[in-house]
Amino acid sequence: MRLLLASLVMLLGTAAYATVQHPELPTTWTKDFTITLTYSGSMDGSSTLIRFTYDSCHFVRQNGMNAPEERKFRLTEADRTEILKKLHALKVDNLKSERNPDPVNDGWLTSMCFGLHCVEAGPSVTISDTDKETFHQAYDYLENFGAAKSASKKKK
């Protein structure tokens, strides 16, 4: 009986963990929902951090050993709707990846977090070919969206 109870508790705990790790993408952007993109570990020191919140986007890119470029811009209702529409079309809330425990010499890593659901890609990550393609489509879309919006705000 104790073994059955312990097994049930572990099963329920695992199910709750899986729910937290893979929540559904919201249909409308709530004030506490964020999207974060990162790229790090390049041998030349390049890195990217893009964080979309309800009302803004913070975009930081460092190319090689140059000083980082940092930009911020306001996120409008139309922007939020456009982003969520694209991410729903790509079905990003179904993406899954798993980090390998073994060290990798070329240790770059790209990640996207949609609220609490994070997905990674890189040489130390296992991800299906289909999910990898969708991952890169979503990452490129969000990176280009942030770059274009922040560039247009910079010119004004």
Q: What is the pLDDT of residues 16-73, one digit of tens each?
A: 333 334 567 899 999 999 999 999 876 777 889 999 999 999 999 888 888 888 999 9
The predicted structure's pLDDT at residue 89 = 96
H helix and E strand count, the chain? 3, 8
Q: Does a structural domain hold residue 65?
A: yes
Residue at 16 is within a domain? no
CA distance 117 to 103: 24
What pLDDT does 149 receive? 80
3-state secondary structure of 52: strand
Write a three-state SS string for 59-113: EEEECCCCCCEEEEEECCHHHHHHHHHHHHHHCHHHCCCEECCCCCCCCCEEEEE
CATH code of residue 151: 3.30.1560.10
Give the count of domains, the chain.
1
Task: Report yes or no on 69 lying in a domain.
Answer: yes
Model confidence, pTM:
0.77
In a domain, 2, yes or no: no
- Between 60 and 1, the more confident residue is 60
77/70 Cα distance (integer angstroms): 23
108 lies in some domain: yes
As a whole number of angstroms, the distance between CA 48 and CA 62 comes to 6
How confident is the model over 86-115, as a mean pLDDT? 85
Contact indicator for 122, 107 with CB cutoff of 8 Å: yes
Which residues constitute the domain of residue 127? 24-155
What's residue 64's pLDDT?
A: 80
Q: Does residue 43 form part of some domain?
A: yes
